[in-house]
Amino acid sequence: MTSGYDLRLPRLRSSALTVWRRNVLVWRKLITPSLLINFGEPLLYLLGLGYGLGLFIGDMAGLPYLTFLASGIVASSAMNTASFEGMYSVFTRMVPQRTYESMLATPIDVDDIIAGEMIWCATKSTISGTAILLVASILGAVEEWRAVAAIPVMFVTGLCFAGPAIVMTAISKSYDFFNYYFTLVVTPMFILCGVFYPVSTLPAALQSVVQFLPLTHAVALVRPLMAGLEPQSVLVHLAVLLAYALASYYLAVVLVRRRLVV
């Protein structure tokens, strides 16, 4: 057992919410700067890119460019937020701050820690996505009330990206490692998965690759909801996002157990 892996299936318990609550309490202390960033960044994107580019582009795939872009940014921001939190912040709590070590001296297990952190990452994704949604609707880029259905999608998207980020954290020795993940995983998805232009304009081969990337599915759900259209293949998209979330949760638990329960 010493150098092997503890492969037992993790159990979901209410202790996960205790871990989540700890993060909420910390976040509440810094709520003003956090929210400023949550609102400021999309405002910059949407005003700069949406209006600036929109003037030249006009419509994209039958939608006003501002709406097209805003819906892409909602999804990609959920990805970015969860990835960032799952790597930099989780690493900080796992290594220098030894927060998990202190939790593991209480009835909390690694299963609870990872579940709590993933729920927290998804919560932050939801906060930042909702901020963008609000900004977009103030700018007139949101069609109707149906758009609130994008909020649970943000949460699921957050879960889906939190897991892989924590997997990276579990195997990394320092923060430097995360640059690779952002450069090799997050940025390509940001560019290829339909945030700025429809996936259908990609070469055929690339289109089939992109179907395996979760951001594609997040965008495919959020975009019609914000544009006032009926989303297609909802179950498939949700299933892909949830499959990534569950598989990465299990992997993250196994790897973090190996790192912390030695």
Residues of this chain that interact with another protein (CB under 8 A) are 1-3, 6, 14-15, 18, 21-22, 25-26, 29, 97-99, 101-109, 260-262
Q: How far is the CB of 96 from another protein (least distance, A)?
A: 9
**118, 159 contact by CB (below 8 A):** yes
Q: Closer to another protein at the Cβ: 101 or 144?
A: 101
Q: Closer to another protein at the Cβ: 86 or 164?
A: 86
Q: Closer to another protein at the Cβ: 109 or 196?
A: 109
Q: How far is the CB of 251 from another protein (least distance, A)?
A: 20
Q: How far is the CB of 101 from another protein (least distance, A)?
A: 5
Q: How far is the CB of 28 from another protein (least distance, A)?
A: 11
Q: Closer to another protein at the Cβ: 57 or 95?
A: 95
Q: Closer to another protein at the Cβ: 2 or 200?
A: 2
Q: How far is the CB of 107 from another protein (least distance, A)?
A: 5
